[in-house]
Amino acid sequence: MNLDGTLSDEESIIKESLEEYCRKNVVPAYEGWIRERKFPRKLLKDLSQLIFGATVLPKGEGGLNEVTLGLLSETMGRYEVPVSAFLTMHFAKMLPLISDENTRKSYLDRYLSGELVLCGAFTEPGFGSDSASITTSAVPENKEFVINGEKAFVSSPGIADAHIISVRTSNVPDEKKHKGISLMIVEGGEQGVEPYEDENMASLFQGDFGRVRLNNVRIPSGNLIGGENEGFAILMNILGIQRVHVGLYAIGLAMGALEEAIEYARTRKVFGDYISKYEAISFRIAEDWSKLQSARMMAFKALAMSDSGIDNGAESSAVKGFGCEASFEAVSHALQTLGAAGYVKTSALERKFRASRGFLIGDGTPEVQKLIIARKLFGKNFAP
Ligand SMILES: Cc1cc2nc3c(=O)[nH]c(=O)nc-3n(C[C@H](O)[C@H](O)[C@H](O)COP(=O)(O)OP(=O)(O)OC[C@H]3O[C@@H](n4cnc5c(N)ncnc54)[C@H](O)[C@@H]3O)c2cc1C
C-alpha cells in the first residue's frame, strides 16, 4: 500500500476477492445467520481457501505481510464477517509455536482446512486489564499439565473447537508475575473444559461470548505454545499487533455505517429539503469520516512498522484506542442520521452500534491504551 492509499496489483487482487466473496456470500446470508443464532461453519471453509493461509504460511507460499493482512481485517469489518472467524484467523498466528511437532501439524491442518474455530481465553473473573495477575494454574504431572481455573468474558468459547489459554506455571514474586505465565492450547471437547454463555450487548450467535471453567483438565505437555513461562511475552507480541487489526475491523465497520448514513441523508427529505443539506448532518459525517481516515492511516503506518521490524507499541495502542473511539462515535452518529429508522432491530446500524461498543473494551480498553502510550512518551518512571 502506498502513502496515497493506492494498492499494488497483488494487494488489490487479495482485497477485491474477499470483498466479492463478502458481497455474494456474507451480505445476503447475514439476516438468516442471526435468526438461527448459529455460527456459519461453511463460512470458515470458504475463508480457509480464500485467506486463512495468510497468517500461518511462510511469505511467498500464501503468507502475507501485516499491511496486506490489515486490508483483509478492514474488509472483514466493512462486511461484518463474524468476529469468531476474524479472531480465529489472528489467533492462528500462535499455532506455529505449538511445541510438539505432531500436535502443531494437526492443528495447522485443521485450521487450513477450515475445521478449527479458535478462541483466546486470557481474561479471568478477577483480572482483565491486569492480565499478568491471572491465577488459572497448570501443574506438570508426568508428561501432562493439569489445569484448574476460570476464564471470563471471552469471545467464542461456546463455538470454539480449541481454546488458547494463559495459565500460571510458576509462582514468582509479585513484580515478576508475568514471568510465571505460559500459553497452551486446549481442545474444546477435553474432559473438564466447561464453557458457558454470557450473552453480551452484541451477541449474535449461540456461544459467541462467555466463560470457560477448567476443571482438572489434563493436556499433553506438547500443547505448550512457546516455552514454559515464556507465554506473556508471546501474548503481548501477538495481541500488540492484533490490536491494530481489531482497530481496522472497527474502522471498516464504521466506514460501512457512514456509507449507509450518506446514502440515507441524500434521499431523506425533512422540512422540504434533503437532510444532507443541513450542516448539522453533513458536517458531523465529514468530521467522523476525517477521524476514521486518520485512524486508518495510523493503522497502516503501525502495520508497516511491524513489517519493517520497528517497535510500534505506542502506535498500535493509539490505533486501538483512538480508532475504536472514532468507530463507535461514527456508528452512533450514523444511527442518529437515520433517526428512528436506525434504532429498530432490523437496522444494520443498530447491530453495528452494539458491536462497535464492544471494541472499546475487548482486546484492551482506551484507558489502558493511553497508559501504554504515556509510558512510551514519559518513560515508565514518570508515567501513571
Ligand atoms: C466484546 C468483548 C470481547 C472480548 N473478548 C475477549 C477474548 O476473546 N478473550 C479474552 O481473554 N477477553 C476478552 N474480553 C475481555 C476484555 O479483554 C476485558 O474486558 C478487558 O481487558 C478489560 O478488563 P475488565 O473488563 O476486567 O476491566 P478492568 O480491568 O477491571 O477495568 C475496569 C475499568 O478500569 C479501567 N482501568 C483499568 N486499569 C486502569 C488504569 N491503570 N488506568 C485507568 N483506567 C484503568 C478500564 O479501562 C476499565 O474501564 C472481551 C471483552 C469484550 C467486551
Nearest partner of 321 among 304, 342, 343, 299, judged by Cα: 299
Work out the average pLDDT over 347-376.
97
- What average pLDDT does the chain have? 96
Work out the average pLDDT over 112-120.
98
Rounded to the nearest angstrom, the distance between the alpha carbon of 127 and the centre of ligand 1 is: 8
Number of domains in the chain: 3
Reported confidence tier of residue 67, pLDDT bands at 50, 70, 90: very high
Ligand 1, atom 18: closest residue by C-alpha: 128
Neighbours of 202 (CB within 10 A): 18
C-alpha cell read off for 151: 476464564
Please indicate, yes or no, if residue 353 is contained in any of the structural domains: yes
In the DSSP assignment, the letter for residue 320 is: I
Domain boundary pick from 204, 229, 254: 229
pLDDT at 241 over 90: yes
Rounded to the nearest angstrom, the distance between the alpha carbon of 30 and the centre of ligand 1 is: 28
**What residues make up the domain containing 375?**
233-382
Please indicate, yes or no, if residue 176 is contained in any of the structural domains: yes
Domain boundary pick from 112, 131, 161: 112
pLDDT of 177-202, one tens digit each? 899 999 999 999 999 999 999 999 99
Ligand 1, atom 14: closest residue by C-alpha: 362
Per DSSP, which regions of the chain are E strands?
118-121, 137-141, 144-155, 162-168, 181-187, 193-197, 209-220, 224-225, 269-270, 273-274
Please indicate, yes or no, if residue 183 is contained in any of the structural domains: yes
Q: Distance of alpha carbon 267 from its chain centroid, rounded? A: 35
Give the CATH number, domain containing residue 157: 2.40.110.10
Give the CATH number, domain containing residue 40: 1.10.540.10
Domain boundary pick from 229, 263, 279: 229
Kind of pairing, strands 162-168 and 118-121? parallel
Residues 237 and 369 in one domain: yes
Tell me what pLDDT residue 53 has.
97
Of 83, 89, 90, 129, which is best to mutate to test ligand 1, by the most ligand atoms within 8 angstroms of its C-beta?
129
Q: Report pTM.
A: 0.97
pLDDT at 60 over 90: no
